[in-house]
Chains A and B, each alone.
Chain A
């Protein structure tokens, strides 16, 4: 009973001094109750209802929604990052700039925007292989890679890559020598990483566009290496 009384006093006090806090907690409890009560209704209907209601209230413009989805589905993606890597492979001065000031070097190719404000470029070498994860959620460098693949957001990847990276990389077909050091970088809400894969053998003389074709999304996350060119692509005799 004493506890109840204390709680009551506390609530009155909170209501008096911090009314916003008090209302927020009520909203939170009511929201939680509703969300759990409808959690098993098909998700397509729940998403539709949320979009419709926010639209009716003027909080969402469906045309703006269509436009932003088109941007991330059709325009922003790993082709952006591949251009950055191909430039770095082709131009030593650009590569130095990319490693020292990645925000500026990436913006120089026109790639800026949300979830890429603080970039770090990680150079793979013969002795060091870098791989990126977000253990806490799904942080990813959108301007250069687009939206992350399902496996990047999955529990198996998030749990294991930090503990047993060599085995996880092997499951992606990336078998590294025991002497290669593997560095795992855990992204966060501020810092996003872009791996600069090693330039493959047999690519001398290839122009940037051809080189970009060898740079895969997965190689820029660091779970694979860049593709090696098809023999035919090395040029006719």
Chain B
């Protein structure tokens, strides 16, 4: 597939900025990154292949590919594959997400997003 992921040699992305020195960075900076990485690791192989995962990430809309954090790109890739394979439906995911956020006291924020 031909898109922004095939970026070797592109100009304009600036300097490489290591976030810390050589291995002392935390493996995950936030809990959701840890959970997303784990979700990927226990669903790959069982429900989709390496190549399907990679292609799913590459199909992320290019602006989001360039601007969303790495493990958020994994979320898009895994959620898409689960829906495409019929293992969960978009409707039930939307319902579950809304219910969870309402339970967490975010109902007003959800309404604001819509």
Which secondary structure dominates where chain A touches chain B? helix
Distance (Å) between the CB of A166 and the closest chain B CB?
Answer: 13
Are B85's CB and A27's CB within 8 A? yes
Contact with B along A149-181 (1 / 0, CB 8 A): 111011111111111000010011000000000
Known: A34-B83, A53-B93. A160 touches B75 (CB 8 A): no
Are A72's CB and B41's CB within 8 A? yes
Q: Kindly state whether residue A61 has any CB partner on chain B within 8 Å.
A: yes
Are A68's CB and B38's CB within 8 A? yes
Q: Which residues of B contact A60 (CB under 8 A)?
A: 39, 42-43
Contact with A along B1-43 (1 / 0, CB 8 A): 0000111111101111111001101011011101111110111
* Closest A residue, CB atoms, query B70: A153
* Closest B residue, CB atoms, query A46: B75
Q: Kindly state whether residue A206 has any CB partner on chain B within 8 Å.
A: no
Select one of A46, A59, A138, A161 contacting B70, CB under 8 A: A138
A-B contact pairs, 12 of them (CB 8 A): A31-B80, A34-B93, A39-B64, A41-B113, A133-B8, A149-B19, A151-B18, A154-B16, A156-B15, A159-B8, A172-B16, A189-B51
Q: Sorted from nearest, which 9 A-B pairs have the closest CB atoms?
A: A135-B8, A34-B90, A31-B83, A65-B38, A44-B32, A69-B38, A217-B23, A49-B97, A159-B10
Binding site for B on A (CB under 8 A): 23-24, 27-28, 30-41, 43-54, 57, 59-61, 64-66, 68-69, 72-73, 77-78, 114, 133, 135-138, 146-147, 149-151, 153-163, 168, 171-172, 186, 189, 216-218, 224
Binding site for A on B (CB under 8 A): 5-11, 13-19, 22-23, 25, 27-28, 30-32, 34-39, 41-43, 46-47, 50-51, 54, 57-58, 61, 64, 66, 69-70, 72, 75-76, 78-80, 82-94, 96-97, 100-101, 104, 106, 110, 113
